[in-house]
């Protein structure tokens, strides 16, 4: 089979796998949504819109700001208590990299890539300044709460590598390329409870992965370290139910 047909078949397989995995993740996320509706104010549903970036074989030394792309997603957050929260995420990010941003011999190599990332993850959050949303008067009390997060996730990615030298065409896709990897989200953020049923925030999350194939380059590049990606942006979340009857927490 000609190389062009092989590459076309590979792209079709990637799209089919990605569509199946996206549908399965979306179904899981939607199945969790009723919990938010019935758990009232111990549960909140939120969305994130922002940016994505990556570090790997086509951006080895540092994050390249010019390669920042779009990310968005949704999450469900459960309030265990005032300081501890558990969160489920479904995130999308678009990442890219280019040897043109490098120096020396890597710049002359002329490779670039782009990829979609779909992530499902569960994260534990610690809010050191967290307090009850019910004030001493028994009504809603606004608060601003920074937080740290650590979790575990699964990421699917569909890298497409482009080359400038015709002799490099046969190098990709690599034979052992994988499109699924475990990831470890490490997050910092801040949230502001502005109204009884609405919160606004911002967060930045680094994702360490167990894969060197986010960019589709491993054995043909530096296969001694795995790739990272970053998702961040603005969050908006919505609480459901009655404030006091559901939280039933003693005020500060």
What is the distance between the alpha carbons of residues 8 and 148, in angstroms, rounded to a whole number? 43
> Which pTM does this prediction carry?
0.79
Q: Which stretches does DSSP call E strand in 22-139?
A: 43-55, 69-79, 84-98, 112-126
Give the model confidence (pLDDT) of 114-146 as tens digits: 999 999 999 999 999 987 777 677 777 788 999
Residues 146-164 have a mean pLDDT of 95
Domain boundaries, the chain: 3-247
Give the model confidence (pLDDT) of 174-195 as tens digits: 888 888 999 999 999 999 988 8
State how far the alpha carbon of 181 is from the alpha carbons of 44, 145, 207, in Å.
28, 32, 11
Position of tokens 């065409």? 169
- Supply the pLDDT for residue 247: 46
What is the distance between the alpha carbons of residues 99 and 117, in angstroms, rounded to a whole number? 21
CATH class as words, domain 3-247: mainly beta
């Amino acid at each position: 089979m000609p190389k062009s047909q092989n590459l076309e078949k590979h792209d079709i397989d990637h799209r089919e796998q990605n569509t199946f995995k996206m549908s399965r993740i979306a179904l899981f996320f939607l199945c969790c949504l009723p919990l938010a509706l019935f758990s009232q104010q111990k549960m909140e549903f939120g969305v994130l819109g922002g940016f994505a970036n990556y570090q790997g074989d086509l951006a080895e030394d540092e994050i390249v700001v010019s390669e920042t792309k779009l990310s968005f997603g949704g999450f469900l957050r459960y309030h265990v208590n005032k300081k501890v929260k558990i969160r489920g995420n479904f995130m999308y990010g678009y990442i890219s990299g280019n040897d043109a941003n490098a120096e020396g011999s890597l710049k002359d190599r002329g490779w670039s890539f782009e990829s979609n990332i779909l992530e499902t993850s569960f994260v534990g959050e610690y809010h050191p300044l967290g307090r009850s949303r019910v004030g001493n008067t028994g009504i809603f009390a606004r608060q601003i709460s920074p937080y740290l997060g650590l979790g575990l996730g699964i990421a699917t990615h569909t890298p497409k590598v482009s080359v400038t030298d015709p002799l490099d065409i046969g190098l990709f896709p690599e034979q052992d390329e994988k499109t699924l990897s475990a990831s470890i989200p490490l997050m910092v953020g801040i949230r502001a409870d502005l109204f009884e049923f609405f919160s606004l925030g911002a967060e930045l999350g680094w994702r360490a992965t167990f894969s060197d194939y986010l960019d589709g380059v491993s054995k043909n590049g530096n296969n001694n370290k795995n790739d990272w990606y970053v998702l961040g942006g603005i969050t908006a979340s919505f609480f459901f139910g009655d404030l006091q009857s559901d939280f039933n927490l003693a005020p500060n």
